[in-house]
Amino acid sequence: MIKEPNAWPDFSMELAELASIQGRFQGFKSIHVPQTRNKTACALAETAKLSIGVYVLLVICSGLDSQTTSSLSDKIAV
């Protein structure tokens, strides 16, 4: 990924940041770990996405009556 940054255009900003900081460390190694071998991190990322959605739903619904809250919950996919 780092050796061929043009092959990863969606990550251009991240790769530039990575390149700028890797010289600050004595040893630095970056490897690709496929999702199938990194299920814990994928599960944590998915939980974080869901948690943010639930938090936003709670903020939106605070102070609303239960019927309105229920209606909003049905309309918003979390």
Q: Domain limits at 67?
A: 33-78
The identity of residue 68, as a single letter, is T
Q: Mark whether 54 and 24 lie in a shared domain.
A: no
Q: Mark whether 22 and 43 lie in a shared domain.
A: no
Q: Pick the more confident residue, 25 or 6.
A: 25
DSSP state of 62: T
Q: Mark whether 54 and 19 lie in a shared domain.
A: no
Q: What is the pLDDT of residue 63?
A: 53
Q: What is the pLDDT of residue 51?
A: 64
- CA distances 5 to 34, 35, 70, 73, Å, are 18, 20, 47, 42
pLDDT in tens, 35-75: 788 888 778 777 777 666 555 555 554 555 555 555 555 55
Is the pLDDT at 26 greater than 70? The verdict is yes
